[in-house]
Amino acid sequence: AQKITQTQPGMFVQEKEAVTLDCTYDTSDPSYGLFWYKQPSSGEMIFLIYQGSYDQQNATEGRYSLNFQKARKSANLVISASQLGDSAMYFCAMRGFTNKLIFGTGTLLAVQP
């Protein structure tokens, strides 16, 4: 069975500093994809970044980067230079052979001025 674990219910970070949100996963599928989504208080899920299991390099998208450690089954999200608008829930998700997205329980990030 596939499982996503996010062990940080909440995180604080000072504006302009970097923050790492943890995500570990479990799957028996040989090929899979890992996603991070942001959910602000408005409720919409916003796609941030994607990492394929066979991708050789860690994914980056602007201020977002994904620290992918396949052997440890971890896919941590790093946000550099945090901004007040980054305050939101962040969800890690995995897509396996069935194409279904499995989400973690999320991490609430609060950026402090």
Partner 1 sequence: EAGVAQSPRYKIIEKRQSVAFWCNPISGHATLYWYQQILGQGPKLLIQFQNNGVVDDSQLPKDRFSAERLKGVDSTLKIQPAKLEDSAVYLCASSSLRTSGRPINEQFFGPGTRLTVL
Residue 59 is classified by DSSP as -
To partner 1, the closest distance from the beta carbon of 91 in angstroms equals 5
Asked if 25 touches partner 1 (CB under 8 A), the answer is: no
- Count other Cβ atoms within 10 Å, centred on residue 62: 10
Asked if 64 touches partner 1 (CB under 8 A), the answer is: no
The single residue among 2, 20, 22, 45 that binds partner 1, judged by CB under 8 A, is 45
DSSP string, 13-41: EETTS-EEE--EEE---SS-EEEEEEE-T
Would you tell me which residues interact with partner 1 (CB under 8 A)? Answer: 4, 33, 35, 37, 42-47, 50, 52, 91, 93, 95, 98-101, 103-106
